[in-house]
Structure 1
Amino acid sequence: MAAQASLRDRRMIGRLRLASQRLAGDRAGSVPELVRWMTAMQAQDLQAALWAVGVRVPGAGLADVRAAIDAGTVVRSWPMRGTLHLVAPEDLGWMLELTAERLTRSIAGRHRQLEITWADVEKARDIALEHIAADGPVSRADLFRVLDAAGQPTQGQRGIHLLGSLCRHGWLVLGPLAGNQQLVAAFDEWIPVSRRLGREEAMAQFLLRYLRSHGPATLRDFAWWTQLPLTEVHAAFENVRHELVELECGGTSYWLSPEVAALQDSGLPGARSVHLLPGFDEFVLGYTERSAVLAPEHSDLIVPGGNGVFKKTVVAAGKVVGTWALEGTGPRAAVVPELFDGAATLGPAAQAALTTAARRYTRFLAS
């Protein structure tokens, strides 16, 4: 049965999320294990996504994350919100079946502007699959050249919308890496085993896994994260609430796994932790309401001008305390933090943890 308790201190939300997101406490043993646990990880910025995985897997290097993508044990596609995410390959099919129709309706107006009809999508599908069957996975640029030559223009965002549609409907998927780009592959060839779930089961599993990997979180957070209807989310919640713990804070119900909730009594990790997280990381971006970990007055410093581009963040004890950048290249590369309230924000222990985190990042890039 679900348990209920009051959150003793709202500042603990961030530390509980560190544990849920495998940034503190129990850690993932491999790259595929971590991505499967996280359910989906924002990945429109590929380099940021590689580090979002690496920072959560002790000892993982850049080559390990790239190898998982090349092996197809982690895949990148548009499973929700019209945004690229990393997911486990066996999950992508049912995620797309759950979210694709609603997203297709939401961008119908843009497709009319781009003069993309369903017949165009089907024609682009046939052209792409025929080309890939003959030559194997193809770069985006080469695929667009093939489409252009066959009478499907790709200029002015038409190409990316066609590609997104073909991926969203499960015909194509981003496959192996070629440098800092990904080749486009046929879905059924790249993901030979992809589970199919009924809508009710898929909704329940999606919600449960999100709350376990991102909690404490609200049902509204999940509805925003997936862009699925809140009424349907509430219905799915009744099927999984017995597997979760409710924490009440300020009149709001947050939900999380029993294992992480129990850390309030047994010892919550992360009190002296400092993490250097990439832009677009799930710790910040995975929720519609972020004030528990990011002071509202600092929001513009993370997303300047509200332009949708999230900067890299310094997170100390579950709270965003600044941004950071990498200056220089190779052995001389150095992490340069910019703390919101100056160097006094971090005490000696946290400063030492920041130095350790910076070394971890540079080792990740080199391995």
Structure 2
Amino acid sequence: MLKATRDQVLAWRLRQQGLTPRTMSTVAELAERLAGVQAQVASSAELAIATRQRKPRAGAVEKALADRTVVKTWSMRGTLHLLVPEQMAAFQSLLAAARTWEKPSWQRSFGVTPDQMERLGDAVDELLDGGRAMSRAELTEAIIAMPGYGDLREQLTSGWGTVLKPLAWTGHLCHGSGEGNRTAFVSPRSHVPGWTGVPEPEEAARVAVPAYLRAHGPATAEAFDAWLIRGLTRKADMRARFASLGDRLTEVDVDGDGERAYLLAEDADGLARTKPSKEVRLLAGFDQYVLGPGTADTRLIAADRRKAVSRTAGWISPVVVHEGRVAGVWDFTDDGTVDVRLFAESGAVPKAALEAEVAHLAACTGRGLELSVRTV
């Protein structure tokens, strides 16, 4: 069993995720490297990409979506993500395998039966056939105009698209490139390069688990499932998917904590050679560096600071990372200031490094920015 320290793990993740050092990678390369980029807030996704690039390029995400080197769709934890086609089908398969829409609690909350969900998939396939793109309103009106669907208007128009998300996971729809803020739904069959459908979960696990561990390992099967679908997969199924990878995985003991954490065997030497990081980074809200292990990971975020990072309504703050750990939070202000609030217990964070990060944020956003630092 490989032994590693917390500081080694955090430094290794920074490097794996293109943060130290920054890269010349494209949007698609970074989306693949990060096992997806959460895009519920488009500006956060754009900044998460740009902060990892030495020379960020305005409009790069929109171009990647238009070129279909990345696809936007509802994926992990039911949130929008930018995914590369090669990983998208695998993640969707494991999400679909949990069959959350068949659970009685889901049906009571959203009022759609499993049979209705299956028929909705058939209806969407028909409506989006041949590369047709439809807005949510257009798709909803077209569905309820079909015989037998008229009583689903409320379910299709309410909330955060909850009823439509299983249709994304089962391969019936995804987001098209769109125009401006207009969401256009399309069929993956016509939109996603190389799409051959959603694979069986066993096949999907051989892509999805390594993709996650390559960016966020060493990690437990439970951490992977929390990241994927908030822990809703049957434990036996998730353990079996990890076990099926056999000697592709190696166990890692992090600081002697006794957890069964796993890493790709091919990455073991790289982790063992990793030195602790002294770097400072200002990361976007909803950044994968935080979302991958989750905000409950006290190696990354002190327990009594979790609420400062994971706020109401699922909002994940932009964070200051120093020596691999979350050392504070920050925000843009209306007057062009980057308002940094450092956690008092995190120790001194070099001001010169913070100033360099603000300069990089200015390059990412095309704005003139000033630094303001205070301790909280």
Q: Tell me which interval the TM-score lies in, with the shorter structure as reference length.
A: 0.7 to 0.9
Shift of 1:219: 2.1
CA distances 1:298-320 after superposition (whole Å, capped 9, x unpaired):
11111236x42211111112110
Task: List aligned pairs for 1:140-219, cutoff 5 A.
Answer: 140-147=136-143, 151=150, 152-154=152-154, 157=158, 160-195=161-196, 197-219=199-221
Aligned 8 A contact 1:90 1:191 in 2: no
Shift of 1:11: 3.3
In the alignment, the residues of structure 2 paired with residue 261 and residue 60 of structure 1 have an alpha-carbon distance, to the nearest angstrom, of 31
In the alignment, the residues of structure 1 paired with residue 83 and residue 325 of structure 2 have an alpha-carbon distance, to the nearest angstrom, of 26
Shift of 1:293: 1.0
Provide the residue aligned with 2:74 in structure 1: 78
Shift of 1:112: 4.1
Structure 2 gaps, min length 5: 368-376
Task: List aligned pairs for 1:102-141, cutoff 5 A.
Answer: 102-105=98-101, 108-118=104-114, 120-121=116-117, 124-125=120-121, 128=124, 132=128, 136-141=132-137
Q: Is 2:357 aligned against 1:357?
A: yes
In the alignment, the residues of structure 2 paired with residue 260 and residue 244 of structure 1 have an alpha-carbon distance, to the nearest angstrom, of 9
Identify the match of residue 287 of structure 2 among 255, 278, 281: 281
CA distances 1:192-236 after superposition (whole Å, capped 9, x unpaired):
412554432321322122111111222221122223333223223
Provide the residue aligned with 1:224 in structure 2: 226
Q: Percent identity?
A: 27
- Determine helix, strand or coil for the equivalent of 2:93: helix
Shift of 1:50: 2.1
In the alignment, the residues of structure 1 paired with residue 18 and residue 43 of structure 2 have an alpha-carbon distance, to the nearest angstrom, of 20
Provide the residue aligned with 1:242 in structure 2: 247
C-alpha RMSD of matched pairs (Å) = 3.1
Residue identity opposite 1:361 in structure 2: L
Provide the residue aligned with 2:258 in structure 1: 251
Flag the 1:123–1:259 CA change in 2: closer, same or farther, 3 A: closer
Greater mean deviation of Cα atoms: 255-264 or 60-69: 255-264
Shift of 1:286: 1.5
In the alignment, the residues of structure 2 paired with residue 115 and residue 19 of structure 1 have an alpha-carbon distance, to the nearest angstrom, of 45
Q: Is 2:308 aligned against 1:297?
A: no
Shift of 1:364: 1.7
Greater mean deviation of Cα atoms: 136-145 or 307-316: 136-145
Q: Is 2:33 aligned against 1:37?
A: yes
Provide the residue aligned with 1:339 in structure 2: 342
Shift of 1:187: 1.9
Aligned 8 A contact 2:22 2:52 in 1: no
Flag the 1:74–1:107 CA change in 2: closer, same or farther, 3 A: farther
Aligned 8 A contact 1:172 1:185 in 2: yes
Greater mean deviation of Cα atoms: 43-52 or 251-260: 251-260
Aligned 8 A contact 2:31 2:37 in 1: yes
Flag the 1:145–1:324 CA change in 2: closer, same or farther, 3 A: farther
Provide the residue aligned with 1:23 in structure 2: 19
The ranges of structure 1 where at least 4 consecutive aligned residues each deviate by more than 6 angstroms after the TM superposition are: none
Residue identity opposite 2:48 in structure 1: A
Q: Is 2:91 aligned against 1:95?
A: yes
Shift of 1:63: 0.8
Provide the residue aligned with 1:324 in structure 2: 330
Q: Is 2:315 aligned against 1:309?
A: yes
In the alignment, the residues of structure 2 paired with residue 129 and residue 197 of structure 1 have an alpha-carbon distance, to the nearest angstrom, of 18
In the alignment, the residues of structure 2 paired with residue 238 and residue 209 of structure 1 have an alpha-carbon distance, to the nearest angstrom, of 16
Flag the 1:158–1:346 CA change in 2: closer, same or farther, 3 A: closer
Greater mean deviation of Cα atoms: 44-53 or 146-155: 146-155
In the alignment, the residues of structure 1 paired with residue 61 and residue 347 of structure 2 have an alpha-carbon distance, to the nearest angstrom, of 33
Greater mean deviation of Cα atoms: 307-316 or 40-49: 40-49
Residue identity opposite 1:268 in structure 2: K
CA distances 1:29-54 after superposition (whole Å, capped 9, x unpaired):
21111112222333322221222222
Shift of 1:292: 0.6
Residue identity opposite 1:297 in structure 2: D
Aligned 8 A contact 2:8 2:276 in 1: no
Greater mean deviation of Cα atoms: 289-298 or 187-196: 187-196
In the alignment, the residues of structure 2 paired with residue 153 and residue 117 of structure 1 have an alpha-carbon distance, to the nearest angstrom, of 14
Q: What TM-score do you get using the length of structure 1 for normalisation? A: 0.83
Shift of 1:88: 1.0
